[in-house]
């Protein structure tokens, strides 16, 4: 019998007695989707994950998203991204360019919100975790939307937001020209609605640059204010990874960020796939 325990009062749940290496029947996939729609984040502890199981799970839910970092730089198609500092040739320290690049993940974001078709889910499995630090922090834009006044909800209802990868990443490290050219800015709806339970949320994060038709300063005031209110005290769940955790989160309505760790001291190795959304958010 599957057991589901909430992780935080606003969102998140741990699912135990669910072995991801058992065949993904329709019923089992439905349990996962129902839990995602309800809790936005689900953690399956103590999983014996493999890449085959990981990609199978991804495909059973939807279209796997191509890792844009590798694709943007080399044109290679790979569905797995590595989160952490472990490469086939060993551990990278804090000075390595890839470690610096990943510091961009320490800003609140929704994965791939800068893509024409943004991510639906991220599926991350922890193979090696730091002895200290390395948490991932999560906050719910659905819960934050519910805290807005009726006037504020009306004010943002029909807004459109430019999301721009080069804008957000240039704050931490230069983006290679080929990679930048592969990711021009796109426009998302500000307010999204879950297609199953119809709960609404706003959709922002570090890639959200400005609001269509607004000047930059007014855009920043609103976007920064919404972000601050989403991620304030009491609204954040900090996930302390354990080896064997498989965590799935809903990028449509959650923000997350890396909590940082000492890359000179620790190894961190997590593999991640993503399920692409069904289409551009403007068509939702």
Q: Which residues of 252-275 are buried (b: 16+ CB within 10 A; e: fewer)?
A: bbbbbbbeebebeebbbbbbbbbb
Taking the complex as a whole, the smallest distance from the CB of residue 107 to Fe ion amounts, in Å, to: 10
**In sequence order, what are the residues at sequence separation of 6 or more whose Cβ sits closer than 8 angstroms to the Cβ of residue 28?**
18, 22
Distance CA 36, CA 8 (A): 14
Stretch that binds Fe ion, among 49-57, 104-112, 134-142, 171-179 (CB under 5 A): 104-112
Compute the half-sphere exposure of residue 244: CA atoms within 13 Å on the CB side of its CA.
8
**Of the candidates 65, 111, 164, 210, which one interacts with Fe ion according to CB under 5 A?**
111
Answer yes or no: are the C-beta atoms of 80 and 271 closer than 8 Å.
yes
Stretch that binds Fe ion, among 58-66, 111-119, 130-138, 217-225 (CB under 5 A): 111-119
The CA-atom distances, in angstroms, between 209 and each of 15, 121, 158, 217 are 36, 22, 17, 11
Distance CA 244, CA 131 (A): 15
- Residue closest to Fe ion, measured at CB: 111
Taking the complex as a whole, the smallest distance from the CB of residue 256 to Fe ion amounts, in Å, to: 6
Residue with tokens 């939702």: 284
Taking the complex as a whole, the smallest distance from the CB of residue 137 to Fe ion amounts, in Å, to: 11
Taking the complex as a whole, the smallest distance from the CB of residue 16 to Fe ion amounts, in Å, to: 25
Pick 112 or 156: Cβ nearer Fe ion: 112
Q: Does 65 bind Fe ion (CB under 5 A)?
A: no
Pick 113 or 201: Cβ nearer Fe ion: 113
Give the binding-site size for Fe ion (rule: CB under 5 A). Answer: 1
Taking the complex as a whole, the smallest distance from the CB of residue 252 to Fe ion amounts, in Å, to: 14
Site residues for Fe ion per CB under 5 A: 111
């Amino acid at each position: 019998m599957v057991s589901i325990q909430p992780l935080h009062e606003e969102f998140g749940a741990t699912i135990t007695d669910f072995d991801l290496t058992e065949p993904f029947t329709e019923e089992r996939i439905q349990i996962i989707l129902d839990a995602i729609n309800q809790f936005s984040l689900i953690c399956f502890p103590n999983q014996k994950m493999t890449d085959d199981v990981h990609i199978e799970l991804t495909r059973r839910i939807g279209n796997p998203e191509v890792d844009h970092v590798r694709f943007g730089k080399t044109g290679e198609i790979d569905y797995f991204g590595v989160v952490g500092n472990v490469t086939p040739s060993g551990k990278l320290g804090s000075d390595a360019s890839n470690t610096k690049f990943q510091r961009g993940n320490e800003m609140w974001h929704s994965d791939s919100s800068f893509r024409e078709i943004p991510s639906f889910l991220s599926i991350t499995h922890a193979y090696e975790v730091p002895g200290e630090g390395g948490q991932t922090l999560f906050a719910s834009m659905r819960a934050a939307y519910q805290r807005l006044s009726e006037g504020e909800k009306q004010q943002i209802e029909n807004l459109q937001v430019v999301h721009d990868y080069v804008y957000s990443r240039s704050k931490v490290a230069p983006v290679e020209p080929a990679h930048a050219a592969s990711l021009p800015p796109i426009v998302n709806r500000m307010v999204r609605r879950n297609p199953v339970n119809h709960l609404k949320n706003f959709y922002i994060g570090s890639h959200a640059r400005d609001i269509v038709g607004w000047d930059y300063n007014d855009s920043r005031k609103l976007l920064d204010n919404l972000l601050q209110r989403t991620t304030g005290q009491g609204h954040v769940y900090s996930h302390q990874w354990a080896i064997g955790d498989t965590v799935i989160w809903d990028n449509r309505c959650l923000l997350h960020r890396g909590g940082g760790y000492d890359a000179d001291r620790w190894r961190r190795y997590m593999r991640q796939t993503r399920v692409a959304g069904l289409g551009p958010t403007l068509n939702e």
